[in-house]
Chains A and B, each alone.
Chain A
């Protein structure tokens, strides 16, 4: 988003994605007969733009229903956006020739959350990791064994285990197999969708260290999607906060955690239990997460916001740069209509 000399590695411009809960036959008949039963639509991603520079680690944080997984899949190309476009090294991906598109597809890989469901239970690890490189001609079929062995070593797995099946491994090992599968096609950009969420604390530390090491060794770029603020803080250069399909705040990590601007970010950071805080009185953000099928009008967060104004119910706040490199979508950041410059709200509430 800043004016970098080289084009960003991957860029999404104003992408949106809707999921429609289609009517079944009975509802269609009812509708034809005049009943009010419109098809429900959820705006999973609503006009989001993001750009990631080569070598950067961008963290994407949000709760269920915020659309972060959908955004990750849009970035990876697994879903096609209803609006907006995807750019790879400055070129629009959908305008490329099909061979080029395939190259871009291989350059962007995804690491999934559920390490059990993301591995084909009927294939041996050697096939899981080695299938795609052979199919795409990256290696000779005869060299598959050696290539898989080297890839497994790189992710910290014993190569002699490659003839085994996924169910014979622990959760942490399966996570590594998923990473090996992605690395086997020599990607440049990895979308990690809650990749460590299902792991125990000590295994999580090992896998996070693996991500850090691979970034240094292979010059990878990451989009790290997680609900765990602590993990994101540790790994990311920049953090994006999502709420109900929109990005509400984006900032470099240190700045975001030190002085969050958006009330939702402030609430999130205050909510997160921390080791140092003992026998605390948990004070929650009130209210339920709205359903994506019925988002509140105006600013999606206003029903739960302690600083809500009448304007918030009507007008959607736009994501604006409030400081160099920091963006926030909140009406509180606008200077008040009268001339006196008020102190920036939220500054003291970190």
Chain B
């Protein structure tokens, strides 16, 4: 039956993805946020990390207010240190996204390797890796992250390490079960029949066919990583105060919520919300599109 004009697997995925308007909207929103984060230095009126630019007299101004020296308009208000919320949010998006994405990529790489090794080697190696993954997954993520950060200290690399440590197990488990299924398929047998070297079979034949479920897990896990990082920052264990991420901004404004100065928490919260929602919309549609049972 005639189906898609796009030939390659990627093309088919894209065509299927575009079926859902909600998902396309989510993708557009995500793209907008990504661009905003990327061009944060260009777009933001002020550099919120430069303490010299902050004016403490401008603190806690409502949205739309002007700076005391009249040069800036604080579109989203200022926080308790006189930082322009819009700039802080843009830079905060940048940090959240970069931390989330890099942590996810590292966790994916680690989980993919360990999962493939487990599936291919079997035996005690597989049991060892899987049991470690199971034990880790039985602890709450936040607990592991807190313990690691308490040991490692603060800083952006340490947060990424903590996030990777928390997340690799999801990928390893997914990859292992997919790899086990794929491994028994006849095209792997055919590759063995053709006397192709084992490394080639694993990386050129097995791994690419294990990717679809991984991509879905990764998309959702980016959101989870960002949320976890925001939580850690909210608790004060995340990034330093001079480079606030969205979580820290929310935390800073927490005490002012009930006294009418809602904007200090509200707008970073909305930004975080939009980012998570758009990632989840994209991830949901990807999951449906890449589901092998719905294909063919």
Contacts and interface: CB of A to CB of B under 8 A. Distances in A.
Say which size band chain B's interface belongs to.
20 to 34
Given A122-B208, A122-B209, A132-B195, A181 B9 contact: no
Contacts of B205: 120, 123
B193 A110 contact: yes
Interface stretch (A32-40, A42-50, A81-89, A161-169): A161-169
B196 A131 contact: yes
Given A118-B186, A118-B187, A167-B296, A76 B209 contact: no
B255 interface: no
A66 interface: no
Say which size band chain A's interface belongs to.
20 to 34
A102 B195 contact: yes
Interface in A62-83: 76-78
Contacts of B208: 122
B195 A106 contact: yes
Contacts of B189: 78, 110, 112, 118
Contacts of B7: 163-165, 168
Given A121-B209, A122-B209, A165-B7, A181 B196 contact: no
B135 interface: no
B194 interface: yes
Contacts of B185: 117-118
B194 A106 contact: yes
Contact of B9 (A78, A121, A131): A121
A78 B187 contact: no
B42 interface: no
A116 B1 CA distance: 15
A344 to B, nearest CB: 42
A105 B193 contact: yes
Interface string B202-224: 00010011000000000000000
14 contacts: A78-B192, A105-B193, A106-B194, A112-B189, A117-B186, A117-B187, A118-B189, A119-B187, A119-B190, A120-B209, A121-B9, A132-B196, A135-B197, A165-B7
Given A105-B195, A112-B190, A119-B187, 7 more contacts: A106-B194, A110-B193, A118-B186, A118-B189, A122-B208, A131-B194, A135-B197
